[in-house]
């Protein structure tokens, strides 16, 4: 188990070391990358549904099988060799969580953290093997129809990952329509419209299916109305964003170049008004969570009119925009910076990563006492 976990730890450390320097967070958000990744997860989902068996190519699998067969059992070296080979043979079975972990680690730039995270993944993969090896066949779960249910559930989760990836390259209503299609398909698969005599367990599954189907209808209606939030498919107010200077308090000014940001900060400094600078990107899921669930909170909304609200859109992630990240010591979105009326940043109030409404409202309250 430990050699297998160490292989994953090495992979995580390498991704952490080189991911940030190669700007993989932005490079991997291109439609040319996200669409094939989404297709990859959809392909895995179809395999989980039992339409075909997804295996390593024969020219890779057969040499690995031979090496595993030649490894001597009953010795530490033989067991370690099997562990290393298992990390290569079993990896396709955990491609979804492994790919998601690698994306996150490459964006964090943390070699130690990446190594530890994938080491934990390797331990999690190996623990059932140790338990079953120690307990023998008595601990192995018995095969049955429930295993098909588990496979189908994982297939739905893999399709959800595919939709989650496509959210970054398609419009909001289209993404909401896809979520509705996924929920509707899951609801029908659970027998939402099968009104025949069935056991209590099947009735519970049918009730769950009806809930999924209800959400699907709401998502489709919301998509046709131009909504984009899968959490609130029928609509919820979001902060308005304008390309030019805000005409009324509480409106966000969208910026995309360093010159625009410098000009907006200078205007706020001349007006003696504090600034709230939000770093945003279309491919940043956490940014959308902040926009939909944090900035719309009434306690946050009540304090925003006191600020000049600037949103820097770093979706393109061009060299000029990445230079701004270096200037402000940021790796990428999401981030929220507070600037005093005189133009100096209140660095102790800056937000890196996600934050809830209560946390942002508290920072806004602390900033208000300094004005």
Confidence of residue 37 (pLDDT cuts 50, 70, 90): confident
Q: Which of 239, 221, 219 is nearest to 229 (CA)?
A: 219
Instruction: Name the one residue in this structure whose structure tokens are 């990240």.
Output: 325
DSSP tag of 280: E
- Region 198-202: mean pLDDT is 83
Domain count of the chain? 3
Say whether both 39 and 154 belong to one domain. Answer: yes
238 belongs to a structural domain? no
pLDDT tens for each residue of 141-176: 666 666 777 888 888 988 998 898 888 778 888 989
pLDDT tens profile 95-125: 445 655 665 566 555 667 777 877 887 777 6
DSSP code of 138?
A: G
Placement of tokens 């609130």 in the chain = 232
> What's residue 57's pLDDT?
63
Q: Are residues 156 and 41 in the same domain?
A: yes
| Alpha carbons 155 and 148: distance in angstroms, whole number | 10
242: β partners: 253
- Does 237 have pLDDT greater than 80? no
What does the pLDDT read at residue 327? 87
Mean of per-residue pLDDT scores for the chain = 77
CATH number at residue 352: 3.40.30.10
Domain that holds residue 28: 1-68+76-128+146-164
| Residue 134 belongs to some domain of the structure | no
Pairing mode, strands 275-280 and 335-339: antiparallel
- Alpha-carbon gap, residue 55 to 371, rounded angstroms: 63
Residues 191 and 328 placed together within one structural domain of the fold: no
Neighbours of 73 (CB within 10 A): 8
**Residue 115 sits in the same domain as residue 1:** yes
- For 233-270, give one letter per residue: b (16+ CB within 10 A) or e: beeeeebebeeeebeeeebbbebbeeebbeebbeebbe
Residues 176 and 159 reside in one and the same domain: no
Instruction: Tell whether 94 and 116 lie within a shared domain.
Output: yes
Residue 37 in any domain: the answer is yes
Give the end of a domain, one of 205, 233, 261: 233
User: Which is more confidently placed, 249 or 264?
Assistant: 264
What's the burial of 11, exposed, middle or buried (CB within 10 Å: 0-12/13-18/19+)? buried
Mean pLDDT of 301-324: 88
In a domain, 14, yes or no: yes
- Residue 360 and residue 318 share a domain: yes
Same-domain pairing of 154 and 178: no
- Indicate the pLDDT class of residue 251, thresholds 50, 70 and 90: confident
Q: Are 1 and 119 in the same domain?
A: yes
d(CA 303, CA 360): 10
Residue 363 within a domain: yes
* Average pLDDT value for residue range 266-274: 91
pLDDT band of 264, cuts 50, 70, 90: very high
Residue 191 belongs to a domain: yes
* 90 and 182, same domain (yes or no): no
Strands 275-280 and 308-313: parallel
Task: Name which residue leads in pLDDT, 268 or 238.
Answer: 268
Residues 152 and 179 grouped into a single domain: no
Q: Is residue 247 part of a domain?
A: no
pTM of whole model > 0.85?
no
Residues 121 and 203 placed together within one structural domain of the fold? no
The answer to whether residue 244 is domain-embedded is no
């Amino acid at each position: 188990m430990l050699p297998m976990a160490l292989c994953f730890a090495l992979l995580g450390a390498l991704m952490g070391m080189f991911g940030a320097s190669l700007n993989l967070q932005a490079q991997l958000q291109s439609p040319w990358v996200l669409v094939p990744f989404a297709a990859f997860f959809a392909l895995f989902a179809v395999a989980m549904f039992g339409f075909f068996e997804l295996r390593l190519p024969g020219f890779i699998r057969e040499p690995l099988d031979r090496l595993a067969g030649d490894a001597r059992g009953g010795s530490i070296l033989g067991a370690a060799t099997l562990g290393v080979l298992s990390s290569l043979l079993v990896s396709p079975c955990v491609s979804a969580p492994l790919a998601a972990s690698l994306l996150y680690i490459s964006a964090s730039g943390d070699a130690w953290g990446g190594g530890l995270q994938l080491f934990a993944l390797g331990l999690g993969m190996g623990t059932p093997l140790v338990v079953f090896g120690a307990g023998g066949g008595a601990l192995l779960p018995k095969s049955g129809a429930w295993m098909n249910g588990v496979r189908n559930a994982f297939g739905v989760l893999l399709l959800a990952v595919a939709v989650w990836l496509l959210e970054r390259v398609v419009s909001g209503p289209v993404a909401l329509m896809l979520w509705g299609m996924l929920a509707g398909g899951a609801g029908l698969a659970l027998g939402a419209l099968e009104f025949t005599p069935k056991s209590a367990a099947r009735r519970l599954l049918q009730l769950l299916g009806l809930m999924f189907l209800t959400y699907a209808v709401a998502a489709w209606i919301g998509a046709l109305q131009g909504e984009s939030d899968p959490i609130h498919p029928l609509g919820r107010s979001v902060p308005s964003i304008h390309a030019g200077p805000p005409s009324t308090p509480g409106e966000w000014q969208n910026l995309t170049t360093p010159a625009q940001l410098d000009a907006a900060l200078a205007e706020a400094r001349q007006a003696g008004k504090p600034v709230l600078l939000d770093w945003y990107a279309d491919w940043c899921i956490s940014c959308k969570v902040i926009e939909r669930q944090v900035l719309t909170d009434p306690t946050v909304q009540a304090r925003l009119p006191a600020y000049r609200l600037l949103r820097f859109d770093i979706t393109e992630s061009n060299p000029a925009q990445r230079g701004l990240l270096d200037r402000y010591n940021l790796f990428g979105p999401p981030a929220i910076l507070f600037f005093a009326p005189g133009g100096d940043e209140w660095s102790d109030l800056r937000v890196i990563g996600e934050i809830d409404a209560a946390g942002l409202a508290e920072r806004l309250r602390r900033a208000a006492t300094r004005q």
